[in-house]
A and B are shown apart, each in its own frame.
Chain A
């Protein structure tokens, strides 16, 4: 098992979520940057859906009580196992009794730590992802014990493989949403031309962007939404729904981010700037 000595800012267990339950209002959830989570799993020849740790901004301090293969992918932090520095995007053999800690975040936001065989917390509705309004625990707490299979030195691993998610992306790609056509030409132009920033309102549910567009009133009845759906509020605020977003929404859906761009946005933090490029989808 792994003992949580310090939890870090927001560390949670995530897999690829609960997409079949969207029709009954359960958010998809799962790793914010799916590509990096899957890459960490791939390094250990885990299933893509194996549960990993999602480490956000500040790393936890963890003690291993058993040997284990682990792999890191995503944001860049200095990673220390006891006093030795460890690399991302390559499997690492950790011995029982060793301590894992993290230095100051250098680039990106979210780092994924896979463990051979995945974390073995109790699945709920087909997923081990910790999720608000659903899981009894939504993030790691000091003193928790994380279950996993104990590792064997000769288990299958892959030597090196990088995540395709860019850190500090300057371009976010999106398709036109169903209500894009109702924006006025100035607002449509604004989406294409403006440089946007991630506001301080950003979490696993949504990212609010700055600046806002001009006010936009449209009578709209509630409809389905997905992670990556970009909504505009009546006062012109732009909200990008992220992995843990609700499944329906009442605001106009002006854009839909590409899968890769949801991952890329998950690696941007408050104040990071980027432009939006609108692509055709036919």
Chain B
């Protein structure tokens, strides 16, 4: 197992290097620059700004310098907000996105897994049709519709929760549900599919034949295998959740990472784009590794393969 983890960490290094390199050159070759504004900047001012951010050097020198700084953990200052370091902005925004992501994922799992199990156990009954119909509706209903709808009902009309912001636990409820319900829909459908397949396996049939009660069959025997598709989905889904959702952050005015991720590209904030892309890539790699480890724990066949 240690060897497996070590080799995956080693593989991550060239992956991150390739991502950093591609992102660096793609951002530099995109039309427009960080200092383009409607009110044209005098050439001499533009030269000063470019010199301040090192953009006056040859592109390859800039690239080498960036890699050198990256090795030291220095992501540089943001072009858009020059008073802030990129790492400082990520460190401020990530805990917000992490909280939102964890809460949303918890809601997704707490709703999605039981709904999927019940649907699988009561296949082709109303207990199957109802949650599956709702989950289809959840998948089809975009968050930019659900979010304002929840705000209208629970904030504007009932006054139960704040409409926006991220200043205290009460602010967490509506965005977490908006995002969580969307993912719950997927989780429910994946759980149902996984459970249906597992429930037909020989070892589940054997457990039933031996007289295990239905709950024991589900919890001790079927669930482990039934959750495998969910676990596979969880890695990238969780990375996506905790790296921020631009739409949810815009609707609920949340100072998360998603906004930096998107606006940095629009602003040609080179260092911020690179910082957020690398951070996201590292998260994906880390979570995929965790998923593989979790799969190995859940599925003996996968363990042998590793």
A and B found bound together: no
